Structure 1
Amino acid sequence: MWYHRLSQIYCSIQHQLKGGVRHSALQFPCFQNRLLAAHRWQHTALGPLNCVWQQHEDHLELRYAGTVMRFDYVWLRDHCRSASCYNSKTNQRSLDTASVDLGIKPQTIRMNETMLFLTWPDGHVTRYSLEWLLKNSYEGQKQTIQPRILWNAEIYRQAQVLPVDFQSFLETKDGLKEFLQNFLLYGIAFVENVPPTREDTEKLAGRISLIRETIYGRMWNFTSDFSRGDTAYTKLALDRHTDTTYFQEPCGYNNYDRAVINTVPYDVVHRWYAAHRTLTTELRRPENELWIKLKPGKVLFIDNWRVLHGRESFTGYRQLCGCYLTRDDVLSTARFLGLQA
């Protein structure tokens, strides 16, 4: 009861002195220990609370917009956006991170409705908007990153994901954004009504990324030709796989087209085969396979870090063209369009 009355008096004084804004107990050292012990969270405003915070020994805990965030004090000092610490024109830091005391703590902390103010032992003041902290916190990042859907054939069919039209893809931001949104969600996306030429396929790919030059050239164009010494150039079935696993910067995992296993000792390699058997069984479950018959004019993009691909054996004449894109550029294009890639 005594603390409740003391808190009322304290809030009344703060309200009169600060025009209705209640600041942290750090501004009143005589009340500090009791208030921290009895009232765990510090509030930024009277009435409906939009932000509360608590100072810990090694970090600041902030509850804002339904998210609890935790910030290391060194991180808060290092990311200061003041003119002496950060060049807002080049978006590069001027502060030498190695010069920040690893045991640094703010001398005072205060807030208003939108901003956090930290005063450091040397008198330097760091200002952060609460929205910036939410966007750039570890906890906030987990909420804002573009979602990925863990899908199987039935989930994908029920989603009824529509392909994007070629002209919309090339000529409008909305068409390109819709395509990239599908690609990020599922790891595959389609464009239709593409003129069935190598040149138009190249134009399509160049819309979202630099085309990666590989040992196969910039664009590859092939039909059945066993003289090439590659199963992909035959009419044989291809098991589930990703491409270029033999590169120094591979796209992903390849289940069957691999080099000799000579980096695993004999007493461990049997466990490798057991794990391989478990993974292969899962990959070959019919419910995890989506079968699509490609026709001239329909282009398929595949995220090789996420989705495996293959084909059934075939007869007759079949011709394909394609290329590899740089992952960084695809994600950069998505971010430019406002997607959290």
Structure 2
Amino acid sequence: MLNDDGGFLTLVNGDSRIRFHAIWLRDNAWDAATRSADNGQRLIAVRDIPQKTTISAARLIRETLSVTFAPEDKTVDYDVAWLLQNAYDRKENISTGWTKSGVETWDSGLMTRIPVADFETVSTDPFELKNWLGQIARFGFGKLLNGPVEDLALMQVVDLFGYVRETNYGRHFEVRTEVNPTNLAYTGLGLQAHTDNPYRDPVPTIQVLYCLESSAAGGENMVVDGFRAAECLRAENEDWFNVLARYCAHFEYSGSDGVILQSRRPMIELAPDGELIGLRFNNRSTAALKDVPFDDLETYYAAYRRLGEIIDDPAMEVSFRLEPGESFLVDNRRVLHARKGYSGAGKRWFQGCYADMDSLHSKLAVLETEQLVATQ
């Protein structure tokens, strides 16, 4: 159904009436002159579309919508399912701090269904790899069992989905007890749940930790869903949630020669439309707050304290012990990780590295597409 001037059309889908502008439809045409058949990228810019583009005719034939544009007199066919999947004419999310479809926040109740897979299985079975990566996308972390107990085996974990992000720590870092360490992670002290490297911009979005030796008592790993913690804070006091999202914190690291890393980002990071997209929380690396106005500083610290209390609540944590050949991966924008203290007796040797979620999402999308095609 066209409106009077052809500026948009309305697609009736059951009880729903979904509108699409002419300019949006023309920009999203999938004909050979507009999109590359090889990679789907646009071959034209918006400036190449006539400014007064309208719809002169539209016809629905089963699952295909055929649209003719003026003044080009160009007809383009659209898959109705694709249009519905990408429809933008919908009720806006009015609650700040919403999470996108497919994300499931959690607390300690997830202990009974930790996302876990077998290393050999996901290395050889694309279906099982898809399932494991899908759980990481959903919950923000995943565990692997029965991997090789050998130096740099963690690189094989990253090879399952993407690439290592090299930092000043190198392509990987060692986590052992050290004398006069440059980082508290290298001591036997327990660590508060935190996100890694908040002083980087952009922050590494994946961290992998791989166990090679674990004979010391204690040292259990813990993970906390930062998105759930933010939701709890918002439910308790929306002003506290908003103040941590509104003002930037400062983070800094300068523990190595020749390295001074600094960033300025909110502890709770939102997209412009209010989507919750990240959390930066690391008491060890938080520098002096310089961007919170005097009148809001006490409120900010009250919110900061309460967020930390929520994160530290045992009801929020999922804990597990890693044995040699086991590893876990966290979405470092979302899931905080921690370690309980361990004794000096025995040995504890982990290796860690960073990677990025865009590669994981890419691999997951490829596997989903391949398996969808295989079932058709």
Q: State the TM-score bracket (shorter-chain normalisation).
A: 0.7 to 0.9
1:130 is aligned to 2:80: yes
Q: 1:274 to 1:191 in 2, by over 3 A?
A: same
Q: Contact 1:238–1:311 at 8 Å: present in 2 too?
A: yes
Q: Contact 1:220–1:321 at 8 Å: present in 2 too?
A: yes
Distance (whole Å) between structure 2 residues aligned to residue 96 and residue 201 of structure 1: 43
Task: Name the structure 1 match of 2:282.
Answer: 255
Name which of 87, 104, 111 aligns with 1:157: 111
- 1:74-128, Cα deviation, whole Å (9 max, x unpaired): 1111112223323323423233312334543211221111211222222211221
Name which of 324, 349, 359 aligns with 1:296: 324
Q: Counterpart of 1:120 in 2: which secondary structure?
A: strand
Q: Counterpart of 1:106 in 2: which secondary structure?
A: strand
Distance (whole Å) between structure 2 residues aligned to residue 119 and residue 241 of structure 1: 54
Task: Name the structure 1 match of 2:96.
Answer: none
Residue identity opposite 1:173 in structure 2: P
Q: Which runs of 5+ in 2 are unaligned?
A: 93-99, 206-278, 370-376
Distance (whole Å) between structure 2 residues aligned to residue 195 and residue 328 of structure 1: 26
Distance (whole Å) between structure 1 residues aligned to residue 194 and residue 176 of structure 2: 19
Q: Counterpart of 1:324 in 2: which secondary structure?
A: strand
Task: Name the structure 1 match of 2:139.
Answer: 186
Q: Contact 2:108–2:317 at 8 Å: present in 1 too?
A: yes
Task: Name the structure 2 match of 1:286.
Answer: 314
Instruction: Select the structure of larger CA radius of gyration.
Output: 1
Q: Counterpart of 1:321 in 2: which secondary structure?
A: strand
Greater fraction of residues in strand: 2
Query: Runs of at least 4 residues of structure 1 off by over 6 A?
Result: none
Q: Aligned residues, how many?
A: 283
Task: Name the structure 2 match of 1:76.
Answer: 25
Q: 1:226 to 1:270 in 2, by over 3 A?
A: farther
Q: 1:161 to 1:314 in 2, by over 3 A?
A: closer
1:271 is aligned to 2:271: no
Distance (whole Å) between structure 2 residues aligned to residue 59 and residue 253 of structure 1: 42
Distance (whole Å) between structure 1 residues aligned to residue 160 and residue 23 of structure 2: 41
- 1:239 deviates by 0.7
Q: 1:126 to 1:291 in 2, by over 3 A?
A: same
TM-score by length of 1: 0.75
Q: Contact 1:221–1:321 at 8 Å: present in 2 too?
A: yes
- 1:189-221, Cα deviation, whole Å (9 max, x unpaired): 111011222332221222211011011111112
Residue identity opposite 2:105 in structure 1: L
Q: Which runs of 5+ in 1 are unaligned?
A: 1-52
**Greater relative contact order (Cα 8 A, min sep 6): structure 1 or 2?**
2
Greater fraction of residues in helix: 1
Q: 1:324 to 1:266 in 2, by over 3 A?
A: same
Task: Name the structure 1 match of 2:360.
Answer: 330
Taking only the aligned residue pairs, the percentage that are identical comes to 26
Q: Counterpart of 2:70 in 1: which secondary structure?
A: coil
Q: Contact 1:67–1:139 at 8 Å: present in 2 too?
A: no
Task: Name the structure 2 match of 1:27.
Answer: none
Q: 1:331 to 1:226 in 2, by over 3 A?
A: farther
Q: 1:240 to 1:73 in 2, by over 3 A?
A: same
1:318 is aligned to 2:273: no
Q: 1:89 to 1:280 in 2, by over 3 A?
A: same
Distance (whole Å) between structure 2 residues aligned to residue 99 and residue 244 of structure 1: 43
- 1:136-186, Cα deviation, whole Å (9 max, x unpaired): 33479x9xx8612111111x134x346211111212212211211221121
Residue identity opposite 1:112 in structure 2: I
| 81-90 or 220-229, which deviates more | 81-90
Q: Counterpart of 2:54 in 1: which secondary structure?
A: coil
Q: Contact 1:54–1:62 at 8 Å: present in 2 too?
A: no
Q: 1:274 to 1:207 in 2, by over 3 A?
A: same
- 1:62 deviates by 1.8
Residue identity opposite 1:318 in structure 2: R
Task: Name the structure 1 match of 2:36.
Answer: 87
TM-score by length of 2: 0.69
Q: 1:246 to 1:65 in 2, by over 3 A?
A: farther
1:99 is aligned to 2:48: yes
Residue identity opposite 1:180 in structure 2: L
Task: Name the structure 1 match of 2:270.
Answer: none
Q: 1:95 to 1:205 in 2, by over 3 A?
A: closer
- 1:222 deviates by 2.4
Q: 1:139 to 1:107 in 2, by over 3 A?
A: closer
Q: 1:187 to 1:56 in 2, by over 3 A?
A: farther
Task: Name the structure 1 match of 2:186.
Answer: 233
- 1:51-81, Cα deviation, whole Å (9 max, x unpaired): xx56476432323377653322211111122
Residue identity opposite 2:348 in structure 1: R
| 99-108 or 295-304, which deviates more | 99-108
Task: Name the structure 2 match of 1:174.
Answer: 127
